[in-house]
């Protein structure tokens, strides 16, 4: 596995761990406060209930205590009266009855519970009757004097009247309202008088008055007011902590460069949108938007300006997003966008417009954009099944598919859009495979040198060769350079391969020399990537000299693109190479950009006319004129001419007539292994 992949995997892992931590943080931080708050509310609710209970108990107790007291007094009254007037209990009870109010009652029974005297209609429920507590004791008939007895009677009498509420009182309206009876309950109690063979019972009423309710309500309100303070404080605390956590979560979702949402938010939002029931049958497009030359822009204007640029793009995208769409910056100048997709064409059209407008907005900054698309189409019949399927989608992976499609656009100018398809995936997989295996392949000598002969068109003899690499893979067989050279050029491995090929050519030349075989010049391709090193000439010298090869027998082929770097450095390197005795070939002359100017400035020995000159029909003969004039130009500049890709006899004859020096093409020979090439040379 290559280093990049490992790094990516590590990044992905740490990304997932971060996401998990964030989720845990969110869960952990909010719930304790909420639980605490609920607990507090419940205890607050429980307190008034308990308060009401206590209050009720107290209310009842105080009322029953008064009734016990009255019962005692009634007992004393009866005993005194019986003694003083020498009356029977029934006579005394009848006297007492006259003074009792409507709500009071008296009942006298014998030992067996037989009722001897009773006021009113209700008889006490003897089983439920409560007596005065033992501590209060029973009333014994005291040996008192007449006056004292009267005084006692009067006191008891007054007290009794007062207790029974029969004394006249001046009620005002308010007082009346307060004394409204809400609940009235008869309460019998045994009178604690020692009357042998008799039991006396006394009845009064326990009442719940309006004022009691009023007091309870006031007390409750006071308690509630008292409790409100901590409740409000706790509520404020919970609110502020929720607010703080929200702010923190917002921070975690913030992309500091654009001021918009970051990638974690984007992933979550995408999943939410895609898995919504109403969206399950809609098609979505994941877009990977890339801005070209962002690094160059930052290098020229500074990173702050660069961030400003990203901010502008983010604001522009924000304005252009519709409901159920989202976007975020992925990295550097790459944005992920989730678009609702009515049809492929409409989406492409919309995206093209978006890119064109973005380019227009950033016009004076010389910046352009490209995009890759991955379509998320509903694949199952039922919405529920589709939701299940979408839950499994890896948003990152989908974005990478879109990026892979975008990568296919390359560095082309203009607003380019590419839709992801299976072929792109296969190419990506191939790229990965190549990158995984290239190091080992180089060590295992899986790269082999093939030679394509260059012929003299007149004598038809081999006068040179081009070294072309072939990858002989144990799994894949022979792999053509077109399948791996572009990948190596992208990842920089091409310089290692070029070194390997230069060494192979040098080794071959020195072997031919040692073995006394016929030596022909062999050209080898030197990629543009090599020209970043200023000591390239010395480096190539070291490689060839280590085999003791004849430098004049080695030609270095440079593609036209190499001529677009720093011209001064290139000129310097080429001068040095020539000084060391190498021949310089300009490869693929005529493709891409015109490098006529380079012919003037650079010390080139050989011009290789590209295959394109000889492809397609040339009915009006214009192609021939161009080839003719190019050959004449090269001759005038003292350069040799090699025509590439020659497959037909007429082409050979035409080129021979024009004075073309060498011909390389399938007409004579395809690239062949070294042994076969040597055989061809020997045969002639
Ligand atoms: P190139 O340098 O232009 O090489 C010529 C290519 O044209 C070779 O393809 C050759 O097989 C092909 N060719 C030659 N005659 C004909 C013909 O008559 N008809 C057709 N259709 N094709 C012809 P090949 O070997 O597949 O190499 C492709 C490209 O890969 C090369 O283009 C070169 O740019 C690159 N390459 C190959 N080997 C190396 C290498 O060792 N180092 C570097 N840097 N690049 C290499
Ligand atoms: Ca070449
Ligand atoms: Ca070529």
Range of 115-129, 360-374, 509-523, 579-593 with top mean pLDDT: 509-523
Tens of pLDDT along 37-94? 787 778 777 776 776 676 666 677 777 888 888 888 888 888 888 888 888 888 888 8
pLDDT band per the 50, 70, 90 thresholds, residue 448: very high
Range of 138-142, 159-163, 223-227 with top mean pLDDT: 223-227
Contacts of 302 (CB under 8 A, 6+ apart): none
Q: How many residues does the chain have?
A: 684
pLDDT of residue 219: 76
Please report how the helices 3-85 and 146-163 are oriented relative to each other, as an axis angle in degrees rounded to 10: 140
Beta strand spans in 554-636 (E): 554-558, 583-589, 606-609
C-beta 452 within 6 A of ligand 1: yes
C-beta 590 within 6 A of ligand 1: no
Ligand nearest to C-alpha 523:
2
Indicate the average pLDDT of the chain: 84
C-beta 671 within 6 A of ligand 1: yes
pLDDT of residue 65: 84
CB 613 within 8 A of CB 646: no
CB 320 within 8 A of CB 354: yes
Burial of 231 (0-12, 13-18, 19+ CB in 10 A): middle
**Residue 663 forms beta bridges with which residues?**
455, 643
Q: From CA 104, how far away is CA 164, in angstroms rounded?
A: 8
Ligand nearest to C-alpha 528:
1
Q: Which residue stretches of 521-621 are H helix? A: 536-545, 567-579, 596-601
648 vs 238, higher pLDDT: 648
pLDDT of residue 247: 87
**How many CB atoms sit inside 10 A of residue 393's CB?**
15
C-beta 503 within 6 A of ligand 1: no
pLDDT of residue 174: 61
The answer on pLDDT for 667 being more than 90 is: yes
Nearest to 372 by CA among 411, 400, 405, 331: 405
Max CA pair span of the chain: 172
The answer on pLDDT for 656 being more than 90 is: yes
CB 290 within 8 A of CB 396: no
pLDDT band per the 50, 70, 90 thresholds, residue 171: very low
Nearest alpha carbon, ligand 1 atom 16: 645
Instruction: Report CA(587)–ligand 2 centroid distance (Å).
Output: 5
Q: From CA 108, how far away is CA 97, in angstroms rounded?
A: 12
Instruction: Report CA(68)–ligand 2 centroid distance (Å).
Output: 124
pLDDT band per the 50, 70, 90 thresholds, residue 175: low
Please give the helix or strand (H or E) that residue 384 lies within, else none: helix 383-391
**How many CB atoms sit inside 10 A of residue 252's CB?**
15
Tens of pLDDT along 237-284? 888 888 888 888 888 899 988 989 999 999 999 999 999 999 999 999
Tens of pLDDT along 512-532? 999 999 999 999 999 989 988
As a whole number, mean pLDDT of residues 296-317 equals 91
**How many CB atoms sit inside 10 A of residue 272's CB?**
12
> How many helices (H) does the chain have, and how many strands (E)?
20, 20
Nearest to 490 by CA among 421, 582, 428: 428
CB 449 within 8 A of CB 674: yes
Q: From CA 117, how far away is CA 209, in angstroms rounded?
A: 31
C-beta 643 within 6 A of ligand 1: no
Q: From CA 68, how far away is CA 130, in angstroms rounded?
A: 9
End-to-end CA distance of the chain: 48
**How many CB atoms sit inside 10 A of residue 136's CB?**
12
| Cα torsion 54, 58, 64, 65: sign | positive
Nearest alpha carbon, ligand 1 atom 2: 525
As a whole number, mean pLDDT of residues 220-228 equals 77
pLDDT band per the 50, 70, 90 thresholds, residue 300: confident
Q: From CA 242, how far away is CA 20, in angstroms rounded?
A: 20
587 vs 197, higher pLDDT: 587
Instruction: Report CA(495)–ligand 2 centroid distance (Å).
Output: 15
The answer on pLDDT for 348 being more than 70 is: yes
CB 464 within 8 A of CB 522: yes
C-beta 501 within 6 A of ligand 1: yes
pLDDT of residue 679: 96
Q: Which two tokens stand for residue 37?
A: 């708050």
pLDDT of residue 286: 96
Instruction: Report CA(511)–ligand 2 centroid distance (Å).
Output: 23
CB 212 within 8 A of CB 177: no
CA dihedral 614, 617, 618, 620 (to 10 degrees): -170
pLDDT band per the 50, 70, 90 thresholds, residue 19: low
50 vs 431, higher pLDDT: 431
Q: From CA 652, how far away is CA 668, in angstroms rounded?
A: 10
Nearest to 546 by CA among 601, 608, 500, 483: 500
CB 522 within 8 A of CB 465: yes
Tens of pLDDT along 473-517? 999 999 999 999 999 998 999 999 999 999 999 999 999 999 999
pLDDT of residue 337: 97
Contacts of 214 (CB under 8 A, 6+ apart): 178
C-beta 648 within 6 A of ligand 1: no
Please report how the helices 303-320 and 294-301 are oriented relative to each other, as an axis angle in degrees rounded to 10: 130
As a whole number, mean pLDDT of residues 292-313 equals 90
pLDDT of residue 315: 93
Q: From CA 350, how far away is CA 341, in angstroms rounded?
A: 10
Q: From CA 638, how far away is CA 583, in angstroms rounded?
A: 13
The answer on pLDDT for 152 being more than 60 is: no
């Amino acid at each position: 596995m290559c280093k990049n992949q490992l790094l990516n995997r590590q990044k992905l892992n740490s990304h997932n761990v971060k996401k998990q931590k964030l989720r845990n943080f969110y869960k952990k931080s909010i719930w304790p406060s909420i639980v605490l708050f609920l607990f507090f509310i419940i205890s607050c609710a429980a307190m008034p209930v308990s308060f009401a209970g206590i209050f009720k108990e107290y209310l009842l107790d105080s009322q029953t205590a008064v009734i016990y007291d009255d019962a005692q007094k009634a007992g004393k009254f009866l005993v005194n009266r019986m003694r003083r007037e020498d009356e029977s209990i029934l006579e005394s009870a009848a006297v007492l009855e006259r003074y009792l109010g409507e709500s009071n009652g008296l009942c006298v029974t014998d030992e067996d519970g037989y009722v001897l005297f009773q006021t009113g209609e209700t008889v006490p429920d003897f089983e439920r009757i409560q007596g005065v507590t033992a501590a209060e004791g029973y009333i014994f008939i005291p040996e008192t004097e007449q006056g004292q007895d009267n005084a006692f009677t009067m006191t008891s009498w007054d007290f009794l009247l007062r207790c029974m509420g029969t004394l006249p009182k001046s009620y005002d309206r308010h007082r009346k309202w307060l004394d409204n009876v809400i609940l009235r309950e008869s309460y019998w109690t045994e009178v604690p008088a020692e009357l042998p063979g008799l039991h006396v019972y006394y009845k009064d009423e326990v009442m719940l008055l309006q004022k009691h309710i009023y007091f309870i309500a006031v007390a409750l309100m006071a308690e509630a007011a008292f409790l409100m303070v901590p409740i409000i404080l706790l509520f404020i605390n919970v609110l502020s902590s929720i607010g703080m956590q929200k702010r923190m979560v917002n921070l975690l979702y913030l992309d500091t460069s654009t001021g918009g949402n970051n990638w974690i938010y984007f992933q979550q939002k995408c999943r939410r949108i895609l898995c919504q029931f109403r969206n399950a049958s809609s098609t979505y497009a994941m877009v990977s938007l890339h801005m070209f030359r962002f690094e160059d822009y930052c290098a020229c204007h500074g990173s702050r300006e660069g961030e400003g640029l990203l901010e502008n793009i983010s604001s522009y995208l924000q304005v252009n997003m519709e409901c159920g769409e989202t976007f975020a910056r992925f990295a550097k100048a790459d944005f992920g966008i989730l678009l609702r997709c009515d049809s492929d064409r409409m989406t492409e059209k919309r995206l093209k417009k978006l890119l064109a407008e973005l380019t227009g907005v950033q016009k004076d900054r010389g910046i352009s954009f490209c995009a890759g698309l991955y379509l998320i189409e509903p694949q199952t019949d039922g919405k529920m099944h589709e939701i299940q399927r979408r839950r499994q989608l890896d948003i990152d992976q989908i974005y990478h598919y879109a990026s892979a499609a975008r990568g296919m656009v390359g560095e082309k100018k203009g607003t380019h859009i590419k839709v992801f398809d299976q072929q792109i995936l296969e190419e990506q997989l191939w790229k990965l495979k190549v990158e995984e295996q290239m190091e080992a392949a180089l060590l295992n000598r899986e790269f082999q040198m093939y030679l394509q002969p260059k012929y003299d068109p007149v004598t038809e003899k081999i006068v040179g060769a081009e070294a072309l690499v072939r990858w002989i893979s144990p799994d894949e067989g022979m792999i053509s350079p077109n399948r791996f050279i572009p990948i190596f050029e992208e990842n920089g491995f091409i310089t290692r391969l070029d070194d390997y090929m230069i060494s192979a050519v040098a080794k071959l030349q020195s072997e031919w020399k040692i073995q006394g075989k016929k030596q022909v010049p062999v050209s080898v391709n030197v990629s543009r990537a090599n020209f970043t090193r200023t000591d390239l000439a010395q480096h190539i010298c070291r490689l060839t000299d280590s085999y003791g090869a004849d430098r004049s027998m080695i030609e270095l082929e440079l593609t036209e693109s190499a001529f677009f770097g720093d011209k001064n450095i290139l000129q310097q390197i080429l001068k040095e190479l020539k000084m060391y005795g190498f021949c310089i070939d300009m490869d693929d002359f005529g493709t891409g950009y015109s490098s006529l100017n380079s012919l003037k400035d650079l010390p080139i020995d050989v011009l290789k006319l590209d295959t394109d000159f000889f492809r397609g029909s040339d009915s009006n003969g214009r192609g021939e004129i161009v080839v003719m004039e190019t050959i004449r130009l090269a001759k005038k500049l003292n350069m040799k001419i090699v025509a590439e890709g020659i497959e037909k006899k007429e082409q050979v004859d035409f080129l021979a007539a024009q004075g073309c020096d060498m011909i390389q093409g399938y007409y004579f020979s395809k690239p062949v292994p070294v042994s076969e090439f040597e055989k061809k040379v020997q045969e002639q």
